[in-house]
Amino acid sequence: MTTPQDFDFDAWLDDAERPERAVTVYQRAGLIADLDALEAKINAADDEDVDGPSMGGGVGKLHAEYAKLAQQFHDSALTFRVSGHSDEEKRGILDGKPEGVVYRVLADAIQSPKVTAAQVERLEKKIGPAQFALILAAYHQASTEVPVVSADFLPKPSTRGDGGE
C-alpha cells in the first residue's frame, strides 16, 4: 500500500495524459438515402409479397439489399481520436495567421488518423456539417470537460431482492 510519504509524484506525472475523445464518421453517408428508400418499400410491402430468400423476390430480396447497403455504410466508418488544447496552445497554433486556424487546430488535435490541415478542410467539405460537428464536439469535450467514466449504459447486475433470482 502506498502512503503519502512514499508516493512518487514524478513517476505518476510521467504517466499522466490528457483526455481524448473518440468519434466515428462515415465515408458512405450518402447510402442513408438508399436505406431510407428501401425501408419505405419494406414497410409498404403487402404481406402477399413476402417470398423467402430462396424465391429471390419480394420483401426477402428487399431485406437482403438493405442488409448489403447497411454493411457498406458500417464498413465505411472511421474513428477519430481527438485530444484537447489549452488556450495558450491554441494561440500558438494561430501564430498570427488567422486563416484556416480551425483546420490547423483540429489537425494538431486529431491523434488518429494523422491528418494535415488541408485534409481536415477537405474532410469538412466531403462529410458535411453534421458529421464534422461531431469531430468539433469531441475536440470541445477533450479541451473543456472534466474526464468522467460512467458505466450507466451497462446492464445492472441482478440481486436477490430485484427479481433476478
What is the model's pLDDT at position 96?
82
What is the model's pLDDT at position 54?
46
What is the model's pLDDT at position 151?
85
Nearest one of 88, 125, 130, 83 to 107, comparing CA atoms: 83
Query: Taking the domains of the chain in order of start, what are their residue ranges?
Result: 23-77, 80-145
What is the model's pLDDT at position 95?
81
C-alpha grid cell, residue 39 = 425501408
Q: Calculate the dihedral angle through the C-alpha atoms of 149, 153, 155, 158, rounding to the nearest 10 degrees.
A: 60
Q: What residues of the chain score a pLDDT lower than 50?
A: 53-54, 165
What is the model's pLDDT at position 50?
52
pLDDT in tens, 18-48: 999 999 999 999 999 999 999 999 999 865 5
How much is the pTM?
0.79
